[in-house]
A and B are shown apart, each in its own frame.
Chain A
Amino acid sequence: MNSLILRTTTGFLLSLLVLFSVYLMLRGHNAPGGGFIGGLTATAALTLYAFAFDVATVRKMLRLDPLSVAGLGLVLALVSGLPGMLGGDAFLTSRWALLALPDGTEIHLGTPLLFDFGVYLVVIGVGCAVLLTMAEERGE
């Protein structure tokens, strides 16, 4: 798959798709979306990129090993459970803070967002680990 058109468009698409996946992840609490869906979208984007260029490029771009990404996600998800526990509640009890922006809008920030971000990273890590490794296998 050495198509110039594919390469060029994928270059644009990748950043768009990853941005979109983050958007999906963030809005998940109020509209369809969330860590799972966002993570899957990002994985699809990265896989597409791997097909257009090659696996090594994607790996370089990720900087971390996919499994480390997944591990990081797990750690984040775990950490998100700690504030609740420190506050004397059960592990993973949610904690929220209201962030008021200068222009008057209010944003709810809470541990569940961190948790969802963890899920997002795990899904990306797992998806990339499986697909990229398999794609390398094919190249051999």
Chain B
Amino acid sequence: MNTLMALLIGILYASGMYMVLRRSMVKLIIGLALLSHAANLLIFTMATLRRDRPPLIDESETALAAPYADPVPQALILTAIVIGFAVSAFAAIMIHRVYQTTGTDDLDQLHTTDS
């Protein structure tokens, strides 16, 4: 399964990067979303994939019985997902404003402002 996940992550990264490299800002956003999926899956895969061993302590136990899916990366990813949402929202709305102000969504036409 790792191999399959590795392939999947690679393709997610590649397509996200390709989208980010486009000149359209809309594609940039979609690319960002794909990249964040890729990153989350990357962390998830790095910490051993386990089926049906969620990090929940059984009613009968006082500690998590091994083997369990690592809770630390999961906490990490959970935050990352939410932050990713905030970033996407922020970026999307910024692009919306940029388009309203400049009338273009071509990134290459925006470069004069900062050089």
Count of chain A residues near B, Cβ 8 A: 10
Chosen A-B contacts, 7 in total, with CB atoms closer than 8 Å, are A30-B56, A32-B54, A32-B56, A36-B78, A40-B82, A123-B82, A126-B86
Interface size class of B (residues with CB under 8 A): under 10
In the complex, chain A residues 18-59 whose Cβ is within 8 Å of any chain B Cβ: 30-32, 36, 40
Residues in A lying within 8 Å of B, measured CB to CB: 30-32, 36, 40, 123, 126, 130, 134, 137
Q: B21 within 8 Å of A by Cβ?
A: no
Question: Which residues in A have their C-beta under 8 angstroms from that of B86?
Answer: 126
Q: B11 within 8 Å of A by Cβ?
A: no
Would B56 and A31 count as touching, CB distance under 8 A? yes
In the complex, chain B residues 57-100 whose Cβ is within 8 Å of any chain A Cβ: 78, 82, 86, 89, 93, 96
Alpha-carbon distance between A72 and B64 when the two chains are bound, in angstroms:
34
Question: Which residues in B have their C-beta under 8 angstroms from that of A31?
Answer: 56
Question: Which residues in B have their C-beta under 8 angstroms from that of A36?
Answer: 78, 82
Q: How far is the CB of A15 from chain B (nearest CB, A)?
A: 25
Alpha-carbon distance between A31 and B53 when the two chains are bound, in angstroms:
13
B89 contacts which of A30, A32, A123, A130 (Cβ < 8 Å)?
A: A130
